[in-house]
A = this chain, B = another copy of it.
Amino acid sequence: MDNLTLVAMSSIVTAGLTIGIGAIGPALGEGRALAQALTALAQQPDEANNITRTLFVGLALVESTGIYCLVISLILLFANPYWNYFIKLGGG
């Protein structure tokens, strides 16, 4: 078990778990907001434009927390600074 393997393993496991755990919150939060939006639409069809606009701006904000997780996950897979260091060290 040399250093490269250990860094690779912890990066792989963390990349998966980060997006795995981080997808629970946004999905549930968006589902809840979406559910309420449909109730609001049914109650006030005249305000449909206003409601759907607020809904999608808000959903984008909720989605952003999921995006943070995805970004960290992709950084760990494809732009991992620690991995790059060890690769350079080994190849230097």
Contact = CB atoms under 8 A, between A and B. Distances in A.
Contact of A26 (B25, B40, B44, B76): B25
Contact of A15 (B31, B38, B43, B76): B76
Contacts of A81: 77-78
A41 B52 CA distance: 11
B33 A38 contact: yes
Given A28-B31, A85-B8, A23 B55 contact: no
Contacts of A50: 41, 45, 48
Contacts of A18: 16-17, 19-20
B58 A51 contact: no
Given A36-B38, A38-B37, A69 B19 contact: yes
